[in-house]
Structure 1
Amino acid sequence: MSKTQMEAGLPKVQHLQVTANSVGQRLDNFLLNQLKGAPKTLIYRIIRKGEVRINKKRAKADTRLQLDDLIRVPPVRLSQKAAETPVGKSLRELLLGEAVCFENADLLVLNKPAGLAVHGGSGVRVGLIEALRQVRPELEGLELVHRLDKDTSGCILLGKSRQVLNALQQQLQSKTLGKFYQAWVVGHWPADLREVSAPIDRASSPSGERLMRIAEAGEGKKALTRFRVLKKVAGFTLVEAEPVTGRTHQIRVHARHAGFPLLGDPKYGDAAVNQAFQRQGVGRMFLHARRLVFTDPKGGETLTVEARPDPSWKQVQTLMQNWNSKHE
């Protein structure tokens, strides 16, 4: 192979110009979209080291892009496997059909299955957004308005343009976008326990996994979750949870703090109870984003979109019926 041929395969400096569809986007999110297959750690490292320049100047990860900004990206060797991993047939069919809860010219609401990460990353080649960009290539400006944990199912909202994305995220920040979840918890949740207000902070984890905890007085970030009892079956309660604030793992941490951990929660749940259900073939975490309420940025009308839980929710109730007799 000649030197010219070898150099042809090497990564090169890129100069990317910001178009109208990317105005207002954070630099890190822009690069994650442009550099298919690049891990987040790489994106943040090249930004931190000053190798990414906007109009010849250093920039931070949260820098908001302006129209016609010229972004210099250093030579980056990408994982072609991550960038080109094809979406499986079953996921493709799901995203094109049954998973679509609502769609118009400006936005999309999907019923995300449990077990699917919203972004590709460490150990995850294809997340929801990468899969959607493969199966819906015509939606060039598609971006997530918010996120869901990998183990959480249900409504997830996406904007089809930068203008719509910004408008929906503004509703999220101003708390005018309502998110309502359903969760099965272990124990009999009292009907008069209607909210949990307790600050949340990151917990130390030797393994490096993301764990949160109820913070000490004067520490952490304020967090408020409203709860409502929907149904009781044997030793379990189905609750509706509305996270007024949007902290990481908020519903899960607040439920455990109240004494009623989520069924199937691998981080904050009751390990013995979880294992008992796993032996019966039910191994997911029972947290589902049931309903979104928001204003259509273009039409102005209030939209209420719901996502139905998957069949495992009926299956687990059958198992619950016999719980007390087996575990007295």
Structure 2
Amino acid sequence: MDLFSRAAICHLTEFDLQGSANTAWALSTVLLADSSIFPALADLLLSSLLLDTSMACLDHVANELTHVCQLVWAFSFASCLSQRLGQRLYRTLIDTGARLDCIPVQDLVTGPPLETRCKEMTPGGPTLAMDLDGISVVFKPPYWEVDAKGQLSRSGLYLSKYLQAAHPASPVLRMARFEYGFIHRLDVPSSGLILAGTTFRGLAALQWQMHTYSICREYVVLVAGMLPAEVLKISASVQDFLAGRSYVSDDGRPADTELKVLDHSGASRSDERHTLLSIAIYTGRRHQIRVHVQWQGYPTVTDEKCLCASSKQ
């Protein structure tokens, strides 16, 4: 890898934003934080125009913002994000978001006028836990899908539709290229709080906090079996590039899950024993919690039921 780093440094000036992001991501995932390429790459980013939105189409801007987020995550994950570079990347995200908010709505989205869209709220459905300037906190009930990456189910219970109805004047919530304003997901059977940007600037602020680990995510999970209290952390790469499927794999992305045993429910029958966990994740891979606990041999109770049902068929 030292040879790779030296070769990459020689070609840094040839990299576009995507090349820089891919290089930083690759080095951070193999934990080469001490690589000499991080300081060299930081110097290049500080001296370059990161993102010019004046002549770019929205698809290009969305892609470039994704690369900026990858840089923020990679440097943060490798503990190499200096104050100067952090400020530069932060301002790039926030300023670009503010400029996008100034674009007339009709130039961003098509379809019926946003202000005339009906505000349909489903009884027993999602609710707004908090509504701030440019940011919403939504409670997701079980079996509603956070369809940031596209709709994987046919249930019709899509959280993007709820938010669009709750904020009919928000263009970002209708734009798939910006993942409908979502910055993270919850599995369909789960319930909990979801953060979403209702303006481009609000989305940028949330993305910055997410990728610099300023947002702490904790979950309460019931798993099958008596998980030992000494199992405190699971570090196993998760392959989540295939739609609808995630699994532990050496060629996946880094994934860390911290566990705290809250309680055990004992029973004479082994299939009735469960463990209540408090779980914190620092890398939001798709299905990360379910994949990690199942990999340890303690599937969530929902997954346990599915496994039992499939084994009986």
TM bin, normalised by shorter chain, reads: 0.5 to 0.7
* Corresponding residue to 1:121 among 151, 155, 159: 151
Match of 2:137? 109
* Corresponding residue to 1:220 among 216, 233, 252: 252
- Cα RMSD after superposing both structures: 3.9
Structure 1 residues without counterparts, runs of 5 or longer:
1-53, 71-76, 79-83, 277-328
Which has a greater percent of strand?
1
Structure 1 segment 199-218 matched on structure 2, within 5 A = 199-202=237-240, 210-216=244-250
Structure 1 segment 52-71 matched on structure 2, within 5 A = 55=55, 60=60, 62-64=63-65, 67=99
Which has a greater percent of helix?
2
Q: For residues 309 and 136 of structure 2, what CA distance do their matches in structure 1 show?
A: 33
Tell me the CA shift for residue 176 of structure 1: 1.5
Tell me the CA shift for residue 178 of structure 1: 0.4
Match of 1:133? 164
Tell me the CA shift for residue 57 of structure 1: 7.2
- Render the CA deviation track for 1:225-281: whole Å, top value 9, x for unaligned: 00001111130011011111111111111101111111112xxx45455689xxxxx
* Corresponding residue to 1:232 among 264, 278, 283: 264
Mark the CA change 1:220 to 1:128 in structure 2 (over 3 Å): closer, same or farther. Answer: same
Tell me the CA shift for residue 177 of structure 1: 0.6
Aligned residues: 205
Specify the code of the residue in structure 2 equivalent to 1:62: N
Mark the CA change 1:58 to 1:250 in structure 2 (over 3 Å): closer, same or farther. Answer: closer
Match of 2:192? 154
Give the match's secondary structure for 2:63.
coil
Query: Does 2:166 align with 1:166?
Result: no
Tell me the CA shift for residue 137 of structure 1: 2.2
Structure 1 segment 38-57 matched on structure 2, within 5 A = 55=55
Q: For residues 232 and 248 of structure 1, what CA distance do their matches in structure 2 show?
A: 27
Match of 2:218? 180
Give the match's secondary structure for 2:201.
helix
Structure 2 residues without counterparts, runs of 5 or longer:
1-53, 66-95, 104-109, 112-116, 174-180, 267-272
Q: For residues 90 and 59 of structure 1, what CA distance do their matches in structure 2 show?
A: 36
Mark the CA change 1:162 to 1:210 in structure 2 (over 3 Å): closer, same or farther. Answer: same
TM-score, structure 2 length as denominator?
A: 0.54
User: Percent identical across equivalent pairs?
Assistant: 25
Give the match's secondary structure for 1:90.
coil
Tell me the CA shift for residue 200 of structure 1: 1.1
Tell me the CA shift for residue 146 of structure 1: 2.0
Give the match's secondary structure for 1:240.
strand
Q: For residues 138 and 226 of structure 1, what CA distance do their matches in structure 2 show?
A: 39
Q: For residues 108 and 243 of structure 1, what CA distance do their matches in structure 2 show?
A: 21
Q: For residues 257 and 100 of structure 1, what CA distance do their matches in structure 2 show?
A: 34
Specify the code of the residue in structure 2 equivalent to 1:90: P
Q: For residues 88 and 101 of structure 1, what CA distance do their matches in structure 2 show?
A: 14
Match of 1:259? 297
- Render the CA deviation track for 1:61-100: whole Å, top value 9, x for unaligned: 6144784799xxxxxx99xxxxx89846415xx44xxx33
Q: For residues 56 and 272 of structure 1, what CA distance do their matches in structure 2 show?
A: 48
Tell me the CA shift for residue 105 of structure 1: 3.4
Q: For residues 306 and 58 of structure 2, what CA distance do their matches in structure 1 show?
A: 47
Query: Do the aligned residues in 1 keep the contact of 2:133 with 2:202 (CA within 8 Å)?
Result: no
Mark the CA change 1:229 to 1:165 in structure 2 (over 3 Å): closer, same or farther. Answer: same
Match of 2:234? 196
Give the match's secondary structure for 2:291.
helix
Between stretches 103-112 and 187-196, larger displacement belongs to 103-112
Mark the CA change 1:90 to 1:275 in structure 2 (over 3 Å): closer, same or farther. Answer: farther
